Amino acid sequence: LAKTTQPISMDSYEGQEVNITCSHNNIATNDYITWYQQFPSQGPRFIIQGYKTKVTNEVASLFIPADRKSSTLSLPRVSLSDTAVYYCLVGSISGSARQLTFGSGTQLTVLP
């Protein structure tokens, strides 16, 4: 079971790029990396998923180095509305749903 480690909190200013790194040293060959965003009093929302190298969508980019022991979620030009908790998950279709456990996440606070 791949354990993930993220910073507890981060602060940024509006308009800046934010990078949140997740460590997953014992990631398995079949594991994918998924990031979620959670606002207060809401359920988490899927942001992005990747296996290796780089993935980009309309809201974020995910960078995964060759050894896959870490990953970095990049949020371009954040706004106040990006203040939320961000979770990194690691798992695969061949694994148990027990892997679908969220860590404590990273509280991102965007300041004006």
Asked if 93 touches other proteins (CB under 8 A), the answer is yes
Asked if 39 touches other proteins (CB under 8 A), the answer is no
What CA–CA distances, in Å, run from 78 to 14, 105, 112?
5, 18, 10
Asked if 105 touches other proteins (CB under 8 A), the answer is yes
Given the complex with other proteins, which of 16 and 53 has the nearer CB atom?
A: 53
Concatenating the DSSP letter of every residue in 8-21 gives: SEEEEETT--EEEE
Binding site for other proteins (CB under 8 A): 30-32, 34, 36, 41-46, 49, 87, 89-105
